[in-house]
Amino acid sequence: MLSSKLPDVGVSIFSQMTLLAQQTNALNLAQGFPDYDPPLALREALARHALAPGSHQYAPMPGLPRLRQAIAAQVARLQPDAPRPNADLEVTITAGATEALYGVLAAVVRPGDEVIILEPAYDLYGPAVRLQGGVPRYVRLPTPHFRPDWDAVRAAVSPRTRLILVNSPHNPSGAVFSAADWQALADLTEGTDILVLSDEVYEHLVFDGVPPLSARQHPALWARSFVLSSFGKTYHATGWKVGYCLAPAALSAELRRVHQFVTFAVSTPTQHALADVLEADHTDAHARGLAAFYQAKRDEFAGLLAGTGWELLPVPGGYFQLAGNAAFSQQGDLAFAEELARKWGVAVVPVSAFYHDGYDPGLVRFCFAKESATLRAAAGRLAQPPTAPA
Ligand SMILES: Cc1ncc(COP(=O)(O)O)c(C=O)c1O
């Protein structure tokens, strides 16, 4: 008989809530994807490459050289204070940040190794560690700001700690690491062999004029870090599943050992299309414009919910709004999220889904990467107590 390696893992909460949204005709503010399309220039580029002869066979294993060069050039422009990544040795194109996350963990975590995960956390971190025989060590981020308590993180470090996984801007809270946070992480790992996996898929979505900061911009951290980004998030193209990992050559080599057996190479025409738009965008207008684009959505959604009883937490980055549900619900957040979809017509993600032990901080997560019309319709429903039973 097959005995599951992940017996406690079911269908992800994001898929569950999307299904519930479809079944109940609720507006889907649950799963983190935009309801608008990637820029036309990118879609046209994909169409061109899809029709053209000659770009339909395997790309080189680490990614198309022209895409890796375009990424290295853009990263060098956006992070002039950090060393320019070497396109040949330090940039690896993956099937979304998901594959990079899994690949890094598979490459470096041995049975019994501990990995520190700050919760609430993206749902794949813990299971991916456990599949390697690793042991997740969970440290809770303090509410309501969700910035790490570095003393608590330090207390979780042991001689078995192999890696610390961080995520800034953070899903689900939107918390953003400051220079002091990165420094604290650097201090904590100094003189150890601990690696850092820095999930920066929302890297450009930092609001209120605060400059985005990457683990790459701290020299001591860069030496021990895998830094992940996602074209899905950056180009409103979550369905394309293309991301990349920046890491020093020796670390990238280890990721590539796994990548070549998991995916081998990411879709060739898609990589060409991304290279076209990156090469053409000399001023990085798209990436630089994302903060204002999403800040406007954040502010629009918050403005629409003002005075409705929803207690909105601050959102320094990312594309999610956390909201306290105390005014509307005395039940657990999962039951409340189901009721919201069925009776109020809005699907959300209960934040307990981001804790391995089901801890319920009494919050739900709205994705505001939506057209104004969707945000307005959702806010209209959220402002009205439900009138009809499910
Ligand atoms: C924090 C975080 N990491 C990784 C991913 C996965 O990125 P991708 O779609 O590029 O695989 C997501 C997607 O929602 C995310 O929120």
Are the beta carbons of 107 and 235 closer than 8 angstroms? no
Residues 315 and 207: their CA atoms lie apart, in Å, by 8
Residue with tokens 């009205």: 384
The two structure tokens encoding residue 21: 């949204």
- Which pLDDT does position 390 carry in this prediction? 42
Phi and psi of 124, rounded to 5°?
-85, -15
- Which pLDDT does position 14 carry in this prediction? 85
Contacts of 33 (CB under 8 A, 6+ apart): 232, 238, 239, 367, 369
- The per-residue pLDDT for range 274-308, each reduced to its tens digit, is 999 999 999 999 999 999 999 999 999 999 999 99
Cβ–ligand 1 distance for 98 under 6 Å, the answer yes
- Which pLDDT does position 15 carry in this prediction? 87
* DSSP state, residue 384: S
Q: Which atom of ligand 1 is nearest to the CA of 95?
A: 11
Are the beta carbons of 105 and 335 closer than 8 angstroms? no
Residues 170 and 203: their CA atoms lie apart, in Å, by 10
- Which pLDDT does position 325 carry in this prediction? 84
Measured in Å, residue 201 CA sits from the centre of ligand 1 at 6
Measured in Å, residue 96 CA sits from the centre of ligand 1 at 7
Residues of the chain with pLDDT under 70: 385-390
Q: Whose CA is nearest to atom 13 of ligand 1?
A: 32
Alpha helices in the chain (DSSP H): 13-24, 40-51, 65-78, 96-108, 125-131, 150-156, 179-189, 219-222, 231-234, 249-262, 268-280, 285-305, 333-339, 372-383
Cβ–ligand 1 distance for 96 under 6 Å, the answer yes
Name residue 228's amino acid: L
Domains, the chain, with CATH or none = 13-38+286-382 (3.90.1150.10), 54-280 (3.40.640.10)
Cβ–ligand 1 distance for 229 under 6 Å, the answer no
What is the SS3 assignment for 373? helix
- Which pLDDT does position 389 carry in this prediction? 44
Cβ–ligand 1 distance for 232 under 6 Å, the answer yes
Residues 309 and 307: their CA atoms lie apart, in Å, by 6
Q: Which atom of ligand 1 is nearest to the CA of 98?
A: 11
Measured in Å, residue 97 CA sits from the centre of ligand 1 at 6
CA-based torsion, 20, 23, 24, 28: positive or negative: positive
